[in-house]
Amino acid sequence: MPGIKNDIKTQEFKNVYLIWGEEDFLRDYYKKALVDKVLDPSFADFNYKEYTSKSPDNDEISDYVSSYPCMSEKKVLYIKDSDLLKKTNETDKKFWLSLLDDMPDFVIIIFSEKNVDKRNALYKNIAKNHSVDEFAFQKPHDLINWIGRYLSKYNKEIAPATAQYLIDCCSPSMYLLKNEIEKLASFTDSRQITSKDIDICCCKVAESRVFDMLDNALDGKTSDACKKYEELKLLREEPIAINGAVFSKFSQLRKIKLMSKTMSAREIATKTNQKEFIVSLNLKKVRSISDEKLDAVINLCAETDHKIKSGKSEPWAALDVLMATIIS
């Protein structure tokens, strides 16, 4: 159980919280939950201050922290995406280390950062003396359950495989998924959300479009694959990103095929942190692809990357060669 979550439940609060990681949704959620528990809404405006810049003013912070709360036992200072926990100059380092070592009991400071450096002196101080919680992108199993719960608020249902498809199409970011879920709930008349609803309604990330194209190609649906490839051109997706997605897909297939020689689909799923049905689908695809072709595409991706970045080939021309190799 995250430290901040436990403190919200017990209402026993520390002076400093660092919440960090890629998952903005959870960072914002727990920050709001903590502030709502600590501050009376009637006086929150007088006892809450936030900075969302890279260089919060030390003098302003010092004045705020040293002044007593107004009609409240606590006051909150919220600092977001400051990079103070990643790279700190000597002046800021001296100021913050002094402040953290002599915090008034009535002040709660919340740092919310996407990235941190665990070698940073401020990070080490907070980790040792206060509270640190990391919120990375959630595991597929947790996201699938969350999607189901969120849709249930709209009286909608979704099968686990369809929820996984939504994640694959869009993003593991809960904010982006939340937007797509709300669109689906408004768009669909039926209670059950289907993959067709997702195809019609949701904004797919480039990687998902590339994977759809590759699935068609590997399933022998050459015409559909070529159509999706042309759509990528019309959407002006970056060729270098498309090449990277192809490399990722074929590397994953190569890995699964190698593992399948000694492991079951369930064992592979556990080892690679994937859903078993996804592994099973990929195993069906790789059975019809030779090791030589998998290696050829992976090597060609590396060559394509070099040609594009070095300017030795026009990007789409290099991708045309790669696509022809995949379809052949």
| Distance from C-alpha of 113 to C-alpha of 86, rounded to nearest angstrom | 9
| Distance from C-alpha of 106 to C-alpha of 50, rounded to nearest angstrom | 16
CATH number for the region 206-327 comes to 1.20.272.10
Amino acid at 284: K
Q: Please name the fold of domain 3-134.
A: Rossmann fold (3.40.50)
Strand 131-134: give its sheet, edge to edge. 48-51, 75-80, 107-113, 16-20, 131-134
Q: Give domain limits for the chain.
A: 3-134, 140-201, 206-327
The conformational region for residue 83 under phi > 0 = left, psi -120 to 50 = alpha, else beta, is: left
pTM for the model: 0.71
CATH number for the region 140-201 comes to 1.10.8.60
pLDDT in tens, the chain (328 residues): 468 999 999 999 999 999 999 999 999 999 999 999 999 999 999 999 999 877 788 999 999 999 999 999 999 999 999 999 998 899 999 999 999 999 999 999 999 999 999 999 999 999 999 999 999 999 888 999 999 999 999 999 999 999 998 998 888 899 989 999 999 999 888 899 999 999 888 877 777 788 889 888 888 899 989 988 998 888 888 899 889 989 988 998 999 999 998 999 888 888 887 777 778 888 888 888 889 999 999 999 999 999 999 999 999 999 999 999 998 8
Closest CA to 26 of 167, 142, 174: 174
